[in-house]
Amino acid sequence: MLRWLWLAGLVVVLDQASKLWANGVLQLHRSVEIFSGLNFTLSYNAGAAFSFLASSGGWQRWFFITLAVLVSGYIIHWLRKLNRSEMSLAIALSLILGGAIGNVIDRVYLGDVVDFIDVFYLADDCLPFFGSGAVSCHWPAFNIADSAIFLGAVMLVIDSFKGRKKAQD
C-alpha cells in the first residue's frame, strides 16, 4: 500500500506552502479575520500539541524530530505490510505520515512549528480551557499538518472499531 505515499506527499506540499504563505503575509500574533469563528494568526510552537513542553529549554526540538523520524519509519514499514483491502488504514497512516513530516521540516529548519489557523467560538461566557482556569474561546492555533494528523488519528480509531467488529463476527 505504498501507493498511498502520494497522499503524504500532498499533505507535506500543502502544509509547507501554507506555512510559507503565512510567514510571508501574516504578522506574528496579529489576527486576520477570515469569517466569524476563524482567524489566521501566525504563531510558532516549540512544543507539541497544545504547546506541550514548549518552554523546556530547547531539548524538546531534537526529541520531537527524533520521535517524528522514528514514527515515520514505522508508518512506512506498516504501509508496506498492508494488503489492498486495508485502504482506509493506508489513507489514515498516510495522512499521519504527511503531517509528521510537515511539522518535522519546520522543526529542522526553524526550530519551531509554524501555526496559523485560529478557530474559536464567540460567546460572552467561555468555559475554562482544559481546566487551566484561563478563560478562552479559542482552540490552540494549528496548521494543515496538524489537521492531517488529527484526521488520520480519527480514521485509525474508526478503523480499529471495524477490526473489532470483524473479529467478533
pLDDT at 69 over 50: yes
pTM reported for the whole predicted model:
0.83
**Is 118 a residue of the active site?**
no
Alpha helix segments (H runs only) across 26-143? 59-81, 87-110
C-alpha grid cell, residue 100: 509528521
From 15, 115, 125, 159, the catalytic residue:
115
**Is 146 a residue of the active site?**
yes
155 Cβ neighbours under 8 A, 6+ residues apart: 88, 89, 91, 92, 95
* Per-residue pLDDT reduced to its tens digit, 108-162: 999 889 999 999 876 555 555 554 544 457 678 899 999 999 999 999 999 888 8
CA–CA dist 118, 101 (Å, integer): 22
C-alpha grid cell, residue 151: 484526521
